[in-house]
Structures are given as C-alpha cells and as structure tokens.
Structure 1
Amino acid sequence: MTETTTPLQRLWLCEAIRLREEYAGPLEDSEANRQARAQGSDLASRIQLRALWLARRDGQQRAQLHWLQGARLALLLLALLALASGAGLAVAALGDGQRPVNVFWALGSLLGLNLLLLVGWAIGWLFSADSGGPLARLWLWLSETLARDAQAAQLAPALLILLGRQRLERWGLGVLVHGLWLLALLSALTTLLVLLATRRYGFVWESTLLGGDTFIQLTQALGTLPALLGFSLPDAELIRASGDSALNSEAARLSWAGWLVGVLLIYGILPRLLLLGLCLCLWRRGVAGLSLDTSLPGYSLLRERLQPSSERLGIRDAAPAQLHQPLAGASTLDSQGAVLVAIELDPARTWPPALPRGVADAGVIDSREQRRQLLDQLTRFPPARLVIACDPRRSPDRGSLALLGELSRSASATRVWLLQPPAGEALDSARLGDWHQALDALQLKHSDTAPLSWLETGHD
C-alpha cells in the first residue's frame, strides 16, 4: 500500500469504490485483482489494495486529495469567519464607550447565541442523526464546492457512511463545531480585553419589571464559579448602586469588568474547550479502531475474485459501461534480471532468437491462461528489463495494447520489439504507423531492430 495514504483514507477509498460499483456496475478490475492477490495477505487487505489500485487508475485518489484540499480551505474560511464574528460580538457588547454598558445586554451578546446553539447541538446529539448542525453542513458544502472534481461525487457520502457505521461522524463534526466556536469565543475574549484596556467603560443594569434584589441574586449566582478562580464578584451594594447609573469609580469598573470576563470564560469558553477535548479523544479512539466490514454485500462479492477457493478462467463480469484507456508504467518493486516475451507470433516463425547469457525466455503468449500465468509470475518476480516482441503485421487492437500496458507495469523498464516480416514479404506501412502511434500513446519505447544488447546490459 502506498505510504501517502492514511488507514482512514484507504478505508474511505474502499467505500467510495463500493458506492461507485453499486451505482454504475462492476469495474474492469482484472489487473487490480491480480495485484491485490500478489501483495495482500487476507481478504480485507486485498480489498484495500484493489480499491487503491482502481482509485489511482480512475482518478478517485487524486479527487480525494482535491477534496481534502477543499476541506482545509473551507475550514480556513470558517476559521476566519469565526475570528471576525468573535471580535464583532465583543465590539457589539461594549459599544464605543460613549454610553454605559448594560451588563446583561453585554452578557447576552457574548454568550446568547453560543448557548442557544450549544443546547441545539446537545439535542441533536441525543435525539437526531444530525449531530453537526448548520455549521457542519456548511463546511461539507464548501468542501465539495471547492474540490471541483467530477470524481469526488461519491467521496463525501462514502466518508459519512464509513464513519456512520460506528457513529464517528458525531465526534468528527463535534471537533469541527466546538473548535470553531472556541475560536470565536477566544477572539471575543481577546477583543474584550483589548477594549477594556484601552477605553473607559461604565456598567449599569436596567429593568422595568425586575427589582434590584433579583439582579443581585442573578449576578452573584453567575459570578460564584468565576470567583473561585480569582475573578472579581461585585457585592450587593455595588450591584444595587449600579441600577441607577454607572458608578464613577475605578473599583466599580474593575469589579464589573472582571465579572464579565470571568463569566465569559467559565460559561462560554470552558464548556466548548471541554467538549472539544472529549470529541477529539473519542474521534481518535474511534478512527484507530476502524476496520473494513467484509460482510457488506459489495465486499462479499469480491471474495471469490480476491481469495478464490479455486482458480477459474474466463470472463466473469459484464462489460463495463465505459472502457478504460490502456496505460503503461513501471514497477517500483525490487527487480532483477531480464526477460524476453513474444505476443501472438506466427507458428512458422523461428523463435526464440539466440539470447545472451542471463536473459530468460518467457515464450509466446497465445492464450488467456498463458497471459495470466506470466503476469502472476512477473508480479511476484518483477524483472529489471523486459522486451516484448510483437508482429506488426497484426493490428494493434485494444486487447494487445492492454496486455502491453500490464506487462510494462510488471517491470522496471520495458521496450517493444516490432519484428521484421519474413523474407520476401512486405510490411504494411499504414499498419506499422498504427503500431508506432499506439505505442507512443502508451509511452513505451519501441524499435524495429532487436534490443538484445539493452536487454543484456541495460544500455545500447
């Protein structure tokens, strides 16, 4: 498995491939299955290897990286919005300093919306599957919008389904929601301290229906916990006196300012910080315990192909809706030795030619069984150099080109040898041009002369 993906990303790709096959039908996966059988030990690891191979081939791994980039950008935008919103709450709470600050209006501005959404989150967590709320939905929407990749259509649903099996989405979205609110409240606290340090504010409370005793009890009840941490708590006389007008006293201003900061810290920042820590711990523990559920219908159908009780030949799946363009490549595994192989040669042709010492002859591939055996062998023991001999009198059909691509991905370096026709027989230049064009599209080096020197030594 590639080192650039985390276990969660691999499971995520498995789920995305499963959803894609449920929607569009089975994919062409013969090479993916062969690679998975060669490298994987149990069924779960083989399913992951297959999904990773298909995701690389079809672009879903690239789309996953684009989605993650979009998710990070969306998170950055929401973080900037949280910082600006928190600063705006503090400015709205204190005003410009020209008028006295109503302490309970200020407190409502700083904590009211936060407490309402916190209660909404708790209700959704207890009674609903939607534990993220509008903020999480906004982040998911922004992530998909910023990804801008057609292959990313199944990624967001696949991630939510994967996490939903163990209800991990509530902890992941909880980290997001509480983290953004914590950022907003810290921004509000910082702005509040800056304003209190640079402007002179007077504090009052005002009410037509409630009396002074009620405000005294409410203020002291809210200030009890902050007072335990050293924040100031206005006494009854100061609270009663502040009901008429803002006291022109430095001690009164300091007492009210300390009370307001303490209440914001204890009832706003501290709950969000604790919930963020709880969600983060449960998220990490849950992700560490995630595994592939091989009992799902989409995965159980792969058991016979990836972990067969006996090998069967022939076409097993219906033709895919969209054919895949053959691709060449090179093996990144440890390789050694040199191999010559031919594809569908005329039986009358003398084969093989005299080979240098150390070059292995893999024979002529004429059947599906020979193709499978050779590919399995090269997958287990990839050669450093591979030469594939082709008869350019035959047309370069899609099956031959797909085989060339598969063979090239099993060796560190590959060249195609376009054999000369027998003496006295002319070669169709148009057909030879088709071969050159097809091999150039595959990005495979080719020549009309025998590259046996390169096959023996690695250079011409």
Structure 2
Amino acid sequence: MTDFQLPALSPLDRLWLTEAVRLREEHAGPLEDEEANRQARALGGDLPALIEHRALWLARRDGLLEALRHWRQGARLGGIALAVLAMFTGAGLAWAALGDGQRPVNVFWALGSLLGLNLLTLLGWLLGLLLVGDSGGALGRLWLWLSEKLARDARAVQLAPALLAVLQQRRLGRWLLGLGVHGLWLLAMTSALLTLLALLATRRYGFVWETTILGENAFITLTQSLGALPTLLGFGVPDAEQIRASGALGSGLENARQSWAGWLVGVLLVYGLLPRLLLSGLCLWRWRRGRAALRLDLQLPAYRLLRERLQPASERLGISDAAPAQLHAATAGARLNGSEGAVLVAVELDGSRPWPPALPQGVADAGILDEREQRRRLLDQLTRFPPARLAIACDPRRSPDRGTLALLGELSRCAASTRVWLLQAPPGEALDSARLEDWHQALDALGLTHSSCAPLGWLEHGHD
C-alpha cells in the first residue's frame, strides 16, 4: 500500500500515541524507523507533524493502535466496575444510616454515616490538588490500574504513563482524574439519596439526638445552621421545640418525623450531592478547555534528536536548483518520473546475469539495488511518486534472509500493486528446490504475489 492510512484518531489520541512511542524508545532503545521517517517526510508538514506521522506509523507497525483499543476497552470495563461499586457504596451508606426501623435513628450519627466518608475524600482531593498537583486521588489511580489490567495486552504498558505525561503538559491530569473521582462520588451520593428516599417512604422511623456533655442549645444551633441552605431549596427544618423533644428517647415524636426526614434529605442533597456535581462540572470545563490547547513538547530531548532525521539541513534549506528536464533512469536510485505507471527493480543480482531485460514502453527501470544508499534513495523516490505497478526481480539462488524480505516489504508498501519475479537459473545451472520453497513460504507470509515468469505484460497493461 502506498497510502499511510490510520483509523480516525482525535488530536489527543495522536499526541497520546506519539508520547507512548517516545516512552517506549526511552525504555527499550531507538526503534527501527527508517521507513517511518521516510513516510513522515513524504507526508510533509512542520516538525511536530513529522514527529507525529513517524510515531503513528510506528504505532501501527508495532501494534500500539491495537493496544490502545484494548486499553480503552479495559478503561470502560474498569469504569463500569467502579460505577457499580459506587452505587452499592451509596446504597450501603443510606442503609447503615437508617437501619431497619426497629430503633430510633440518631440523626447526627446518620448524618455522619451519609456524609463522613464523602467529605473526608473531598478534603483529601482538595489537599492533593493544592499540595501534590496532578492528583486524581486513590480512585483515579485505581481506575488507571484497572484499565491496564483489564486491557490484557502487554503492549499497553506504556499507555497509562504516556497519557499522564501528555496531560502533565498543562496539568490536566488533575482535571481528568478529578472528573472521574467526582463523577463516581456523585453516583454514590445519588444512590444514597434514592435509597434514603425509598427507606423513608416504606418504613416508619423515629429520630433522636443523644449527648452526655453537650447542652440541647448546641444541637438546636447545629441543626438550624445545617438546615439554612436546604431551606432555600424548600426543605423543612425542625423547629426548636421539635429538636428539644427529640432529645428524649421516650417522648412522642410523631409530629417531628417528617421534619427530621426532610432535613436529613436536604442536608444530604446540599452537602453531599451538589458539591460533587459542581466539582464535576468544573473539572469537565477545565478538561475541555485544556485539551484543546495540548501541543507536542518539542523541548524533550528525544524530539530534539529527531529534528535532523526528519528535517535534514539540506531539506530545510529548500530547493536551490531547478530539476533538469530529463533524468537518466538506467541506474539504480535514479529519480523516477511521477507519471510512470510501472517500475521494474532488481535486488542483489550478480554481474553474470544480463540486466535489464527489454522493457515495454512506459515501464521504468530502477536498476539493481546492492547498497544501502541506493535502497534509501529509491525508497524515498517511490514514497514521493508511488507507481501503480511494481515488479521486484530476485535471484532465488540466494537465501531469503530477513534483510531482503524487509526490503521487499518496504518496496511493496510504496506501490499500489506489487509482484515478485523469481528469476530462472542461468543456463547450465539448476535452482535448489528447498531454497525455492523457502522463498515461496516467505513471500506468501508477506502476502506478495510471486512467479517465475517475467511480469512484463502485467507491468505494461496491468493484467496478464
């Protein structure tokens, strides 16, 4: 294939994969990237675009795109698992607060059960935000860990660190993980509120407060202070006489039941659910705003080193001389005319074999590739001017080593259609059947069409 095609990726996904490739090279050493660099230069653009093209090509070749898909699946499964846990946690908090209705409910113990853990984790998130920086709390880290484990793909090991590294550029990790944390607590508080309403609607509860060292005035003041904001939303608050009466376990509390129930629901809504809702909205707003401003950090050493390979000094200077009207195409590495529809090239032929054969009109001869520099020049040319048909002549008397097969694969990706021509043995010689079979198996593994017949008719007309 000649086109560098990728599935639709968002700008964040492209930066994410680029950073994952960088981290992989930092840990495992530089990757084999000659073809990736050539494809990136062919696509053109400024340095960030070239680095991104190179990384995406390597990501496709090395399976990082598939690993990203697996990681996303793991992230979704991890998010669903945490959401289910949050729902059960909220329901459990409401059940622990009210109990089975057999005993009066201590209103302040119930309030502590409903809001205590939520407020402690909220305080921890705020302290982490101020003191640590990009902290998403334990839930955020747990979600990243679950995503990696549920991905079940060893290639995904660099994806979570790469995502955090990209987000650290504008300190977005705090907002993305914070969105997840507050979203989960919002779900937990919603579940607690619904469970609380269901229990209050189906069971008869009495409400009391108890103390040994505090006076009743302290409870009256605390109750009315906590109920000040809920009253703005229409929730009732027990009056002073009802609060005093609730201090006696044996007193008749029938007239205060609904007041205490409304107060408890209002306090849970205002101090438990609404803060998480507002913080979720804040995190979402900051996340969307910062995500649009993400850019590749060209000051990283790995990206500075790529400048010379992706933007050689000779290319950055621009064109200094106009191209000649006609170029000689008989030697290897000569520049191929972009209008040529078919190209014949030979790989590592010895001097005893006459070459090239008589070619039909319209078929260009790219010569014989023997040296590394010849290969590089031809691959650069084919990448810029991909032919419709490419025939590659090989001598099956040689072994199909990995270097030759890699070159055939690179050449085939520079043309719309490729065939391999396995040459006949010279007069007086015979081909080794075992070695020829090795060629057939290797070419079949590459998915390349091959034949011992000269493909000149196919080169000229596009069919046999």
Q: Same fold judged by TM-score > 0.5?
A: yes
Deviation at 1:414, TM superposition (A): 1.4
1:284 is aligned to: 288
Is 1:19 matched with 2:23?
A: yes
2:333 is aligned to: none
1:71 is aligned to: 75
Deviation at 1:263, TM superposition (A): 0.5
SS in 2 for 1:28: coil
SS in 1 for 2:420: strand
1:186-335 map, 5 Å: 186-245=190-249, 251-310=255-314
1:49 is aligned to: 53
1:163 is aligned to: 167
1:450 is aligned to: 454
Query: C-alpha distance in 2, partners of 1:13/1:35?
Result: 17
SS in 2 for 1:353: coil
Task: Report which stretch shifted further, 443-452 or 58-67.
Answer: 58-67
Change (3 A) 1:213 1:57: same
Partner of residue 148 from structure 2, selected from 144, 147, 161: 144
Partner of residue 343 from structure 1, selected from 330, 344, 347: 347
1:119 is aligned to: 123
Query: Is the Cα–Cα contact under 8 Å of residues 245 and 253 in structure 2 kept in the other structure?
Result: no
Query: C-alpha distance in 2, partners of 1:189/1:67?
Result: 33
Query: C-alpha distance in 2, partners of 1:440/1:377?
Result: 26
Is 1:135 matched with 2:139?
A: yes
Deviation at 1:458, TM superposition (A): 3.6
Deviation at 1:145, TM superposition (A): 1.7
Deviation at 1:229, TM superposition (A): 0.9
Query: C-alpha distance in 1, partners of 2:69/2:7?
Result: 14
Q: Over residues 24-65 of structure 1, what are the superposed CA-to-partner deviations in whole Å (9 max), with x where a residue is unaligned?
A: 221111101101111131111111111111122222222222
Partner of residue 39 from structure 2, selected from 35, 43, 55: 35
Matched residues, number: 438
Structure 1 regions of 5+ residues with no counterpart? 312-334
Is 1:83 matched with 2:87?
A: yes
Query: C-alpha distance in 1, partners of 2:9/2:95?
Result: 44
Q: CA RMSD in A?
A: 2.1
The letter for the 2-side match of 1:115 is: L
SS in 2 for 1:446: strand
- Report the identity percentage: 73
Give the TM-score, by structure 1 length: 0.90
SS in 2 for 1:188: helix
Partner of residue 4 from structure 1, selected from 5, 8, 23: 8
Query: C-alpha distance in 1, partners of 2:384/2:220?
Result: 81
Deviation at 1:203, TM superposition (A): 1.4
Deviation at 1:357, TM superposition (A): 4.5
Is 1:432 matched with 2:436?
A: yes
Deviation at 1:192, TM superposition (A): 0.8
Is 1:391 matched with 2:395?
A: yes
1:416 is aligned to: 420
SS in 2 for 1:301: helix
Partner of residue 105 from structure 1, selected from 106, 109, 112: 109
Query: C-alpha distance in 2, partners of 1:108/1:62?
Result: 47
Change (3 A) 1:336 1:99: farther
Query: C-alpha distance in 1, partners of 2:424/2:418?
Result: 19
Task: Report which stretch shifted further, 298-307 or 343-352.
Answer: 343-352
SS in 2 for 1:396: coil
Deviation at 1:162, TM superposition (A): 2.1
Change (3 A) 1:409 1:114: same
Change (3 A) 1:382 1:246: farther
1:153 is aligned to: 157
Structure 2 regions of 5+ residues with no counterpart? 316-338
Is 1:180 matched with 2:184?
A: yes
SS in 1 for 2:314: coil
